């Protein structure tokens, strides 16, 4: 299949909060099907970068080209509808909803019920524990399980570009290794491009596993 390239092209991006500049002159190119890791220290602006790519934090300057379209000032909703998904830092889930309900919420931009069923099946095959716990409240799951649920939820919309904010944060190395293998498998099955950010102070175990 002919690939569109690059899927995401960031050129001289700058942004920040109030008067504080956080990102300045950031450029990066992600081709379709790639799995890319951006590594930086705590406070370097990794979360800010992902939030800016999603449009939650506004860009001050530079350009974001997504799917060949100028998207620097597109709303987060437009970007999600055109196939971006973010797993926020800390693997946040809706603690008082069931595991299955959390997954269903991930598919709210999908109207094709067959696609929703097959995505859910793929998520359950990838993370069998989520099927076992389908009717359990998400808040009762362990940190690693919640991270799996957060990733599973993001995959429910079958995103073209999945962004993961420090998915290994707070998890034991063995759990991280398993998680990275699963992310790899899911991205292959759904042809999802992966942009992951990780903390450089916690070793390179994660990108190595990706
Ligand atoms: N909502 C916010 N308001 C003001 N400053 C913020 C906000 N979020 C992050 N920052 C600041 O921006 C810088 C980058 O933060 P962040 O993107 O969270 O870094 P990282 O994810 O790499 O740890 C830090 O100095 C942080 O204190
Ligand atoms: Mg962060």
> Mean pLDDT in runs of 10 for the chain (210 residues)?
76 97 97 95 96 96 96 94 92 91 86 88 95 96 93 93 94 91 91 95 56
Which residues line ligand 1 at a C-beta cut-off of 6 Å? Answer: 17, 22, 40, 42-48
DSSP state at residue 59: P
Domain limits of the chain? 8-209
DSSP state at residue 6: -
By the 10 Å C-beta count (0-12 exposed, 13-18 middle, 19+ buried), 109 is classed as middle
Element (H, E) at 198: strand 193-199
State if pTM tops 0.95: no
Task: For domain 8-209, give its CATH number from 3.40.50.300, 3.40.50.720, 3.10.20.440, 3.30.360.10.
Answer: 3.40.50.300
Distance 136 CA to ligand 1 centre (A): 34
Closest ligand 1 atom to residue 16 Cα is 12
């Amino acid at each position: 299949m002919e690939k569109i390239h690059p899927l995401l092209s960031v050129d001289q991006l700058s942004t920040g909060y109030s008067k504080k500049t956080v990102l300045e002159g950031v450029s990066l190119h992600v081709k379709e099907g790639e799995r890319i890791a951006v590594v930086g220290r705590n406070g370097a602006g990794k979360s800010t970068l992902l939030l800016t790519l999603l449009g939650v934090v506004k860009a001050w300057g530079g350009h974001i080209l997504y799917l060949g379209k100028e998207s620097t000032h597109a709303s987060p909703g437009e970007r999600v509808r055109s196939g971006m998904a973010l797993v926020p830092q800390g693997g946040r889930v809706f603690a008082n909803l069931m595991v299955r309900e959390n997954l269903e919420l991930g598919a709210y931009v999908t109207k094709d019920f067959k696609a929703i069923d097959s995505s859910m099946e793929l998520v359950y095959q990838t993370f069998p524990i989520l099927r076992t716990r389908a009717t359990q409240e998400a808040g009762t799951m362990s940190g690693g399980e919640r991270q799996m649920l957060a990733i599973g939820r993001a995959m429910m919309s079958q995103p073209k570009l999945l962004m993961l904010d420090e998915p290994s944060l707070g998890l034991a190395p063995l759990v991280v290794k398993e998680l990275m293998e699963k992310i790899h498998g899911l991205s292959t099955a759904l042809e999802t491009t992966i942009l992951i950010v990780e903390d450089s102070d916690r070793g390179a175990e994660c990108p190595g596993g990706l």
